[in-house]
């Protein structure tokens, strides 16, 4: 089994100065953990260069929280994948539920973003997940399958090794609620099965699957110990070095 990926999404938090301090703390305190798991942080755009410089020389990786699929043009306020690569940032989060629900990003747009990222040589973390209403109505599996098919059906299987899928039940993001280990395992198994259907079993197994949704040190080990859970996408708990590193330590204990 390969290393699990512990990814921290800092969202719209931290000034550039605060982001630098957090990155420096992680760089100083994570050396032992980096031999046993992969660590990644996603600061806001303004802090990308500062954070990248702070973790330079360590194995900590840096991601952007979003990007646009067009390489250039009249798209005020957007950032391209080529611009991120020029900055030395190769990871990007796409399709996060907040991008879908707050900013209206739909499946067709996200499919273009995902293809653009892969065409540009990026390493995308693509997010899928259902709302509370959809889960309570019994539609969770249908919703997640539809999100996967819309994004992946036109992509070749050789992109699998560069792709990470994050399952984030929308009802568990920032609410303090967390999918039970059984619920997480069930949905990750469904995603793995869908990937195998699309691309074949070998390629489907090469995609790392993350769980996201109110992950913290207290529940990380149980979630990370489930089948097909290859890491976690952490929100609020990634804003404190001690808590984020405790989650990483929990990953090491399960492997």
**Annotation says 96 is catalytic:** yes
Using alpha carbons, select from 208, 236, 242, 204 the residue that is nearest to residue 38: 208
Helix runs in the chain, H state only: 16-29, 48-54, 81-87, 97-101, 107-119, 132-136, 140-152, 181-199, 201-205, 217-224, 241-254
Joined tokens for residue 14: 């931290």
> Which one from 168, 188, 194, 243 is the annotated catalytic residue?
168
* Separation of alpha carbons 81 and 67, rounded Å: 6
Q: At what angle do helices 217-224 and 241-254 cross, to 10 degrees?
A: 20
Query: Is the torsion defined by CA of 168, 171, 176, 182 positive or negative?
Result: negative
Q: Which residues are catalytic?
A: 96, 168
């Amino acid at each position: 089994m390969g290393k699990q990926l512990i990814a921290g999404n800092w969202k719209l938090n931290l000034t550039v100065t605060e982001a630098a301090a957090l990155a420096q703390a992680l760089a100083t305190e994570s050396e032992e953990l980096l031999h046993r798991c992969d660590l990644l942080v996603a600061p806001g755009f303004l802090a990308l260069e500062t954070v990248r410089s702070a973790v330079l020389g360590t194995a900590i990786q840096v991601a952007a929280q979003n990007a646009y699929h067009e390489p250039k043009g009249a798209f005020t306020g957007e950032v391209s994948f080529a611009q991120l690569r020029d900055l030395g940032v190769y990871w990007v989060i796409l399709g996060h539920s907040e991008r879908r629900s707050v900013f209206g990003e739909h499946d067709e747009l996200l499919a273009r973003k995902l293809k653009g990222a892969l065409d540009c040589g990026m390493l995308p973390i693509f997010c899928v997940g259902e709302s509370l209403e959809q889960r309570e109505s019994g539609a969770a599996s249908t919703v997640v399958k539809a999100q996967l098919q819309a994004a992946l059906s036109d992509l070749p299987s050789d992109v699998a090794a560069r792709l990470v899928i994050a399952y984030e039940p929308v009802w568990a993001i920032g609410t303090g609620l967390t999918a039970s280990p059984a619920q997480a395992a069930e949905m990750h198994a469904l995603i793995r099965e869908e990937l195998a259907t699309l691309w074949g079993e070998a390629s489907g197994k090469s995609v790392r699957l993350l769980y996201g949704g109110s992950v913290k040190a207290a529940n990380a080990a149980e979630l990370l110990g489930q089948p097909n859970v290859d890491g976690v996408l952490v929100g609020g708990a990634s804003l404190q070095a001690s808590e984020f590193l405790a989650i990483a330590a929990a990953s090491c204990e399960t492997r």
